[in-house]
Protein backbone atom coordinates (compact mmCIF):
# COMPACT_ATOMS: atom_id res chain seq x y z
CA UNK A 1 0.00 0.00 0.00
CA UNK A 2 1.24 3.00 0.00
CA UNK A 3 4.16 2.92 0.83
CA UNK A 4 7.37 4.06 1.98
CA UNK A 5 5.86 5.38 -4.53
CA UNK A 6 2.19 4.55 -17.78
CA UNK A 7 -0.74 4.07 -22.08
CA UNK A 8 -1.20 5.67 -25.34
CA UNK A 9 -3.36 8.75 -25.20
CA UNK A 10 -6.59 8.60 -27.06
CA UNK A 11 -8.41 11.57 -28.45
CA UNK A 12 -7.86 13.51 -25.26
CA UNK A 13 -10.65 16.01 -25.41
CA UNK A 14 -13.31 13.41 -26.26
CA UNK A 15 -12.25 10.90 -23.67
CA UNK A 16 -11.62 13.54 -21.03
CA UNK A 17 -15.15 14.82 -21.47
CA UNK A 18 -16.62 11.30 -21.45
CA UNK A 19 -14.57 10.40 -18.41
CA UNK A 20 -15.73 13.48 -16.50
CA UNK A 21 -19.37 12.76 -17.35
CA UNK A 22 -19.11 9.05 -16.63
CA UNK A 23 -17.25 9.48 -13.39
CA UNK A 24 -19.89 11.96 -12.30
CA UNK A 25 -22.59 9.34 -13.03
CA UNK A 26 -20.62 6.75 -11.10
CA UNK A 27 -20.01 9.27 -8.37
CA UNK A 28 -23.72 9.98 -7.99
CA UNK A 29 -24.75 6.32 -8.19
CA UNK A 30 -21.99 4.44 -6.37
CA UNK A 31 -19.52 6.64 -4.57
CA UNK A 32 -19.65 7.33 -0.87
CA UNK A 33 -19.50 10.95 -2.03
CA UNK A 34 -22.93 10.39 -3.56
CA UNK A 35 -24.76 13.65 -4.52
CA UNK A 36 -24.72 16.93 -6.30
CA UNK A 37 -24.15 20.05 -4.19
CA UNK A 38 -26.88 21.21 -1.86
CA UNK A 39 -27.09 24.17 0.46
CA UNK A 40 -26.20 22.11 3.50
CA UNK A 41 -23.26 20.23 4.86
CA UNK A 42 -23.74 16.65 3.75
CA UNK A 43 -22.97 13.53 5.73
CA UNK A 44 -20.27 11.03 4.70
CA UNK A 45 -22.38 9.32 2.03
CA UNK A 46 -23.56 12.65 0.61
CA UNK A 47 -20.46 14.71 -0.09
CA UNK A 48 -20.88 17.39 -2.75
CA UNK A 49 -19.59 16.86 -6.28
CA UNK A 50 -16.72 19.16 -7.10
CA UNK A 51 -15.83 21.07 -10.20
CA UNK A 52 -12.53 20.17 -11.80
CA UNK A 53 -10.03 22.91 -12.56
CA UNK A 54 -11.21 22.95 -16.16
CA UNK A 55 -14.73 23.64 -14.97
CA UNK A 56 -16.19 20.20 -15.68
CA UNK A 57 -18.06 18.36 -12.95
CA UNK A 58 -16.00 15.41 -11.74
CA UNK A 59 -15.33 12.96 -8.97
CA UNK A 60 -14.59 14.48 -5.59
CA UNK A 61 -12.15 12.88 -3.17
CA UNK A 62 -12.68 13.33 0.57
CA UNK A 63 -9.32 13.59 2.32
CA UNK A 64 -8.95 13.68 6.09
CA UNK A 65 -6.56 16.56 6.82
CA UNK A 66 -6.69 16.75 10.59
CA UNK A 67 -8.55 15.58 13.68
CA UNK A 68 -8.24 17.55 16.92
CA UNK A 69 -8.88 21.04 18.23
CA UNK A 70 -10.69 23.81 16.37
CA UNK A 71 -8.53 25.49 13.72
CA UNK A 72 -8.51 28.68 11.69
CA UNK A 73 -8.26 28.76 7.91
CA UNK A 74 -6.75 31.41 5.63
CA UNK A 75 -8.58 32.19 2.40
CA UNK A 76 -8.84 34.98 -0.17
CA UNK A 77 -12.61 34.85 0.04
CA UNK A 78 -15.11 32.12 0.87
CA UNK A 79 -18.66 30.87 1.18
CA UNK A 80 -19.49 29.07 4.41
CA UNK A 81 -22.51 26.77 4.36
CA UNK A 82 -24.21 25.06 7.28
CA UNK A 83 -27.53 23.24 7.63
CA UNK A 84 -29.12 26.54 8.63
CA UNK A 85 -27.54 29.24 6.48
CA UNK A 86 -24.90 30.27 3.96
CA UNK A 87 -22.72 33.39 4.11
CA UNK A 88 -19.79 34.94 2.29
CA UNK A 89 -16.62 36.42 3.73
CA UNK A 90 -12.88 36.93 3.27
CA UNK A 91 -9.65 36.60 5.24
CA UNK A 92 -9.09 34.26 8.17
CA UNK A 93 -11.97 32.01 9.17
CA UNK A 94 -12.38 30.19 12.51
CA UNK A 95 -14.77 27.23 12.67
CA UNK A 96 -17.24 27.49 15.54
CA UNK A 97 -19.83 25.10 14.12
CA UNK A 98 -19.90 22.28 11.54
CA UNK A 99 -20.08 23.42 7.95
CA UNK A 100 -18.53 23.51 4.50
CA UNK A 101 -16.06 26.26 3.60
CA UNK A 102 -15.72 26.85 -0.14
CA UNK A 103 -12.91 29.29 -1.01
CA UNK A 104 -12.73 31.37 -4.18
CA UNK A 105 -9.42 29.76 -5.13
CA UNK A 106 -7.74 27.83 -2.30
CA UNK A 107 -7.33 27.70 1.45
CA UNK A 108 -4.45 27.30 3.89
CA UNK A 109 -4.74 24.95 6.85
CA UNK A 110 -1.80 24.31 9.18
CA UNK A 111 0.64 26.01 6.79
CA UNK A 112 -0.37 23.94 3.73
CA UNK A 113 -2.37 25.22 0.76
CA UNK A 114 -5.21 23.12 -0.65
CA UNK A 115 -7.65 23.33 -3.53
CA UNK A 116 -11.29 22.32 -3.23
CA UNK A 117 -13.45 22.91 -0.16
CA UNK A 118 -13.07 22.13 3.53
CA UNK A 119 -15.70 20.44 5.68
CA UNK A 120 -15.56 20.68 9.47
CA UNK A 121 -17.33 17.87 11.34
CA UNK A 122 -17.85 17.88 15.11
CA UNK A 123 -16.92 14.61 16.84
CA UNK A 124 -17.69 15.08 20.51
CA UNK A 125 -15.03 17.46 21.81
CA UNK A 126 -12.89 17.19 18.67
CA UNK A 127 -13.09 18.44 15.09
CA UNK A 128 -12.55 16.45 11.91
CA UNK A 129 -11.41 18.47 8.87
CA UNK A 130 -12.05 16.90 5.46
CA UNK A 131 -10.82 18.35 2.16
CA UNK A 132 -13.25 17.80 -0.72
CA UNK A 133 -10.84 17.98 -3.66
CA UNK A 134 -11.32 17.27 -7.40
CA UNK A 135 -9.93 13.90 -8.48
CA UNK A 136 -7.20 15.26 -10.78
CA UNK A 137 -6.01 17.77 -8.17
CA UNK A 138 -5.78 15.00 -5.60
CA UNK A 139 -3.86 12.70 -7.97
CA UNK A 140 -1.47 15.49 -8.98
CA UNK A 141 -0.55 16.02 -5.34
CA UNK A 142 -0.14 12.28 -4.70
CA UNK A 143 2.13 11.77 -7.71
CA UNK A 144 4.34 14.74 -6.79
CA UNK A 145 4.62 13.61 -3.17
CA UNK A 146 4.97 9.85 -3.69
CA UNK A 147 7.62 10.32 -6.41
CA UNK A 148 10.03 13.11 -7.16
CA UNK A 149 8.29 15.36 -9.72
CA UNK A 150 11.67 15.55 -11.48
CA UNK A 151 11.64 11.84 -12.35
CA UNK A 152 11.06 10.57 -15.90
CA UNK A 153 7.54 11.21 -17.18
CA UNK A 154 6.87 7.50 -17.83
CA UNK A 155 7.57 6.67 -14.19
CA UNK A 156 5.28 9.51 -13.13
CA UNK A 157 2.57 8.22 -15.47
CA UNK A 158 2.89 4.74 -13.98
CA UNK A 159 2.44 6.27 -10.52
CA UNK A 160 -0.61 8.20 -11.74
CA UNK A 161 -2.37 5.05 -12.97
CA UNK A 162 -1.48 3.15 -9.82
CA UNK A 163 -2.64 6.01 -7.58
CA UNK A 164 -5.91 6.46 -9.50
CA UNK A 165 -6.74 2.75 -9.29
CA UNK A 166 -5.83 2.57 -5.61
CA UNK A 167 -8.03 5.56 -4.85
CA UNK A 168 -11.12 4.19 -6.59
CA UNK A 169 -10.76 0.95 -4.67
CA UNK A 170 -10.61 2.87 -1.40
CA UNK A 171 -13.64 4.99 -2.29
CA UNK A 172 -15.66 1.80 -2.74
CA UNK A 173 -14.29 0.19 0.41
CA UNK A 174 -15.00 3.23 2.58
CA UNK A 175 -18.57 3.91 1.49
CA UNK A 176 -20.46 5.58 4.33
CA UNK A 177 -17.32 6.81 6.12
CA UNK A 178 -16.55 10.46 6.74
CA UNK A 179 -13.55 10.36 4.40
CA UNK A 180 -12.06 8.20 1.63
CA UNK A 181 -8.35 8.58 2.44
CA UNK A 182 -6.03 10.54 4.68
CA UNK A 183 -2.79 12.37 3.86
CA UNK A 184 -0.33 9.72 5.04
CA UNK A 185 1.23 6.45 3.91
CA UNK A 186 -1.74 4.72 5.55
CA UNK A 187 -3.27 5.47 2.15
CA UNK A 188 -1.28 7.70 -0.24
CA UNK A 189 0.78 10.77 0.60
CA UNK A 190 -1.21 13.92 -0.20
CA UNK A 191 0.27 17.35 0.48
CA UNK A 192 -2.10 19.79 -1.20
CA UNK A 193 -0.82 22.31 -3.76
CA UNK A 194 2.90 22.43 -4.60
CA UNK A 195 4.81 24.78 -6.89
CA UNK A 196 6.50 21.66 -8.35
CA UNK A 197 3.24 20.06 -9.53
CA UNK A 198 3.57 20.68 -13.31
CA UNK A 199 5.18 17.34 -14.26
CA UNK A 200 2.84 15.40 -12.01
CA UNK A 201 -0.16 17.24 -13.46
CA UNK A 202 0.91 16.29 -16.99
CA UNK A 203 1.28 12.66 -15.92
CA UNK A 204 -2.27 12.70 -14.58
CA UNK A 205 -3.62 14.40 -17.72
CA UNK A 206 -1.79 12.04 -20.09
CA UNK A 207 -3.26 9.00 -18.34
CA UNK A 208 -6.69 10.59 -17.94
CA UNK A 209 -9.21 8.01 -16.75
CA UNK A 210 -6.85 5.04 -16.98
CA UNK A 211 -6.96 2.36 -14.29
CA UNK A 212 -5.84 -1.23 -13.87
CA UNK A 213 -8.33 -4.10 -13.96
CA UNK A 214 -8.08 -7.81 -13.34
CA UNK A 215 -10.92 -10.04 -14.54
CA UNK A 216 -13.41 -7.18 -14.57
CA UNK A 217 -12.53 -5.79 -11.14
CA UNK A 218 -10.31 -2.88 -10.15
CA UNK A 219 -6.86 -4.20 -9.31
CA UNK A 220 -5.15 -3.85 -5.95
CA UNK A 221 -2.32 -1.50 -6.86
CA UNK A 222 0.06 -1.43 -3.92
CA UNK A 223 3.45 0.24 -4.24
CA UNK A 224 6.61 0.78 -2.22
CA UNK A 225 9.94 2.58 -2.43
CA UNK A 226 12.33 -0.26 -3.34
CA UNK A 227 11.97 -4.05 -3.41
CA UNK A 228 15.60 -5.02 -2.95
CA UNK A 229 15.60 -7.03 -6.17
CA UNK A 230 12.71 -9.39 -5.42
CA UNK A 231 9.01 -8.52 -5.29
CA UNK A 232 6.99 -9.99 -2.43
CA UNK A 233 3.57 -11.58 -2.83
CA UNK A 234 0.41 -10.15 -1.33
CA UNK A 235 -0.16 -13.49 0.38
CA UNK A 236 3.08 -13.46 2.33
CA UNK A 237 2.60 -9.87 3.51
CA UNK A 238 -1.15 -9.68 4.19
CA UNK A 239 -2.26 -13.32 4.12
CA UNK A 240 -4.39 -13.12 0.97
CA UNK A 241 -3.09 -14.38 -2.37
CA UNK A 242 -3.66 -12.14 -5.40
CA UNK A 243 -2.92 -13.64 -8.82
CA UNK A 244 -1.01 -10.64 -10.18
CA UNK A 245 0.92 -9.86 -6.99
CA UNK A 246 3.27 -12.82 -6.85
CA UNK A 247 6.93 -13.28 -5.98
CA UNK A 248 9.22 -12.56 -8.90
CA UNK A 249 12.63 -11.18 -9.76
CA UNK A 250 12.81 -7.40 -10.26
CA UNK A 251 16.47 -6.29 -10.56
CA UNK A 252 15.81 -2.61 -11.27
CA UNK A 253 16.15 -0.70 -8.00
CA UNK A 254 19.86 -1.08 -7.29
CA UNK A 255 20.34 2.69 -7.66
CA UNK A 256 17.82 3.37 -4.88
CA UNK A 257 19.31 5.21 -1.89
CA UNK A 258 17.93 2.46 0.36
CA UNK A 259 18.62 -0.61 -1.78
CA UNK A 260 20.81 -1.96 1.05
CA UNK A 261 20.69 -1.01 4.72
CA UNK A 262 22.03 -2.02 8.14
CA UNK A 263 20.86 -1.27 11.67
CA UNK A 264 21.99 -2.31 15.14
CA UNK A 265 19.22 -3.05 17.67
CA UNK A 266 20.19 -3.45 21.35
CA UNK A 267 18.23 -6.13 23.22
CA UNK A 268 17.04 -3.47 25.67
CA UNK A 269 15.48 -1.45 22.85
CA UNK A 270 13.83 -4.54 21.38
CA UNK A 271 12.44 -5.47 24.79
CA UNK A 272 11.16 -1.96 25.42
CA UNK A 273 9.51 -1.67 22.00
CA UNK A 274 7.90 -5.11 22.22
CA UNK A 275 7.10 -4.94 25.96
CA UNK A 276 9.23 -8.04 26.57
CA UNK A 277 11.62 -8.29 29.52
CA UNK A 278 15.14 -9.72 29.48
CA UNK A 279 15.64 -10.41 25.77
CA UNK A 280 18.49 -12.88 25.34
CA UNK A 281 18.50 -13.53 21.58
CA UNK A 282 16.61 -12.82 18.34
CA UNK A 283 16.78 -15.26 15.43
CA UNK A 284 14.91 -16.02 12.21
CA UNK A 285 12.42 -18.86 12.62
CA UNK A 286 11.20 -19.05 9.01
CA UNK A 287 11.08 -17.15 5.73
CA UNK A 288 8.57 -16.48 2.96
CA UNK A 289 8.83 -17.50 -0.70
CA UNK A 290 10.58 -14.19 -1.49
CA UNK A 291 13.15 -14.96 1.24
CA UNK A 292 11.85 -12.24 3.51
CA UNK A 293 11.60 -12.98 7.21
CA UNK A 294 8.23 -14.43 8.13
CA UNK A 295 8.63 -15.10 11.86
CA UNK A 296 11.22 -14.21 14.48
CA UNK A 297 12.05 -16.22 17.60
CA UNK A 298 12.84 -14.16 20.66
CA UNK A 299 14.36 -15.92 23.63
CA UNK A 300 13.91 -14.30 27.05
CA UNK A 301 14.71 -15.32 30.60
CA UNK A 302 11.12 -16.55 30.88
CA UNK A 303 10.87 -18.53 27.69
CA UNK A 304 10.46 -18.20 23.93
CA UNK A 305 8.21 -15.85 22.02
CA UNK A 306 7.38 -15.88 18.31
CA UNK A 307 6.55 -12.64 16.54
CA UNK A 308 5.59 -11.99 12.89
CA UNK A 309 8.32 -10.02 11.11
CA UNK A 310 5.83 -7.41 9.92
CA UNK A 311 4.76 -6.69 13.48
CA UNK A 312 8.40 -6.60 14.59
CA UNK A 313 9.14 -4.02 11.90
CA UNK A 314 6.16 -1.88 12.89
CA UNK A 315 6.97 -1.99 16.61
CA UNK A 316 10.66 -1.17 16.11
CA UNK A 317 9.85 1.51 13.52
CA UNK A 318 9.46 1.16 9.76
CA UNK A 319 12.10 3.81 9.14
CA UNK A 320 14.65 1.97 11.26
CA UNK A 321 13.76 -1.58 10.11
CA UNK A 322 13.18 -0.64 6.49
CA UNK A 323 11.83 -4.00 5.30
CA UNK A 324 11.50 -7.64 6.37
CA UNK A 325 14.08 -8.60 3.74
CA UNK A 326 16.98 -8.97 6.17
CA UNK A 327 19.47 -11.26 7.88
CA UNK A 328 20.38 -11.24 11.58
CA UNK A 329 23.74 -11.47 13.32
CA UNK A 330 24.38 -11.17 17.03
CA UNK A 331 26.80 -8.54 18.28
CA UNK A 332 27.19 -8.51 22.06
CA UNK A 333 23.89 -7.57 23.68
CA UNK A 334 22.42 -6.52 20.36
CA UNK A 335 21.57 -7.82 16.90
CA UNK A 336 22.63 -6.37 13.57
CA UNK A 337 20.06 -6.49 10.79
CA UNK A 338 21.48 -6.35 7.26
CA UNK A 339 18.74 -5.88 4.73
CA UNK A 340 17.57 -4.86 1.28
CA UNK A 341 14.68 -2.77 0.07
CA UNK A 342 12.43 -0.17 1.67
CA UNK A 343 8.78 -1.00 2.22
CA UNK A 344 6.59 -4.10 2.05
CA UNK A 345 7.83 -5.11 -1.40
CA UNK A 346 4.39 -5.78 -2.95
CA UNK A 347 3.32 -4.26 -6.28
CA UNK A 348 5.18 -1.40 -7.94
CA UNK A 349 8.75 -0.68 -6.86
CA UNK A 350 9.04 3.08 -7.37
CA UNK A 351 12.83 3.17 -7.81
CA UNK A 352 12.53 0.22 -10.17
CA UNK A 353 9.96 2.10 -12.23
CA UNK A 354 12.32 5.07 -12.39
CA UNK A 355 15.19 2.87 -13.64
CA UNK A 356 13.02 1.18 -16.29
CA UNK A 357 11.83 4.55 -17.60
CA UNK A 358 15.20 6.34 -17.54
CA UNK A 359 17.70 3.57 -18.36
CA UNK A 360 15.67 1.03 -20.33
CA UNK A 361 13.45 3.48 -22.20
CA UNK A 362 10.26 1.68 -21.24
CA UNK A 363 6.88 3.38 -21.29
CA UNK A 364 4.44 3.31 -18.43
CA UNK A 365 2.41 0.46 -19.94
CA UNK A 366 5.42 -1.82 -20.02
CA UNK A 367 6.42 -0.77 -16.52
CA UNK A 368 2.99 -1.61 -15.16
CA UNK A 369 2.94 -4.94 -16.99
CA UNK A 370 6.09 -5.87 -15.08
CA UNK A 371 4.67 -5.04 -11.66
CA UNK A 372 1.05 -6.08 -12.21
CA UNK A 373 1.15 -9.00 -14.71
CA UNK A 374 -2.20 -10.29 -16.00
CA UNK A 375 -3.89 -6.93 -15.39
CA UNK A 376 -5.17 -4.66 -18.16
CA UNK A 377 -5.39 -0.91 -18.48
CA UNK A 378 -8.85 0.42 -19.22
CA UNK A 379 -10.66 3.71 -19.18
CA UNK A 380 -12.77 3.99 -16.07
CA UNK A 381 -15.83 5.26 -17.92
CA UNK A 382 -16.08 2.04 -19.93
CA UNK A 383 -16.57 -0.13 -16.87
CA UNK A 384 -18.36 -0.27 -13.56
CA UNK A 385 -15.97 0.93 -10.89
Contact assessment for residue 225 and residue 336, using Cβ atoms and an 8 Å cutoff: no
Q: State the average pLDDT over residues 51-62.
A: 58
Burial 121-146 (b: 16+ CB within 10 A, else e): beeeeebbbbbbbbbbbbbbbbbbbb
Which carries the bigger pLDDT value, residue 38 or residue 85? 85
- CB contact set of 333 (below 8 Å; sequence gap of 6+): 266, 267, 268
Q: Where are the domains of the chain?
A: 260-340
Q: pLDDT tier at 58 (50, 70, 90 boundaries)?
A: confident
Beta strand 223-224 with 348-349 is parallel
Paired strand residues for 119: 100, 130
Can you give the pLDDT at residue 2? 55
Per-residue pLDDT tens digits for 66-90: 999 999 999 989 999 999 999 999 9
Can you give the pLDDT at residue 1? 52
How high does pLDDT run on average in the chain?
87
Q: pLDDT tier at 323 (50, 70, 90 boundaries)?
A: very high
Can you give the pLDDT at residue 40? 29
Which carries the bigger pLDDT value, residue 46 or residue 219? 219
Can you give the pLDDT at residue 7? 33
Contact assessment for residue 131 and residue 62, using Cβ atoms and an 8 Å cutoff: yes
| Largest separation between any pair of C-alpha atoms in the chain | 70
Q: At what angle do helices 153-173 and 198-206 cross, to 10 degrees?
A: 70
- CB contact set of 312 (below 8 Å; sequence gap of 6+): 274, 296, 321, 324
Can you give the pLDDT at residue 352? 98
pTM of the shown model? 0.83
Per-residue pLDDT tens digits for 233-264: 999 999 999 999 999 999 999 999 999 999 99
Per-residue pLDDT tens digits for 149-205: 999 999 999 999 999 999 999 999 998 999 999 999 999 999 999 988 999 999 999
Backbone angles phi and psi of 127, in degrees to 5: -115, 140
Closest CA to 119 of 23, 31, 37: 37
Can you give the pLDDT at residue 44? 38
Predicted confidence (pLDDT) at residue 23 exceeds the cutoff of 80: no
Per-residue pLDDT tens digits for 326-350: 999 999 999 999 999 999 999 999 9
Can you give the pLDDT at residue 380? 85
Closest CA to 153 of 203, 105, 195: 203
Amino acid sequence: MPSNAPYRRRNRSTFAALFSFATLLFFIACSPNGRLPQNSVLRPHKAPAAQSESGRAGLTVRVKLYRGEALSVKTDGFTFTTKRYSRNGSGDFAFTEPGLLTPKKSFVLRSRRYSGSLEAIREGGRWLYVNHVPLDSYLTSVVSHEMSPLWHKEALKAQAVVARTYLLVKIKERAGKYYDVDTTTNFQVYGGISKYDDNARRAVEETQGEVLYYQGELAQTFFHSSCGGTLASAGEVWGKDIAYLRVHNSPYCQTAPVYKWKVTLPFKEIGRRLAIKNVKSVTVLDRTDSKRVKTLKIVTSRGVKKIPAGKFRTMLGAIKVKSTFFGIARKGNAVVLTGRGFGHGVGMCQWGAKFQAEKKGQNYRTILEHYFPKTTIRFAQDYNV
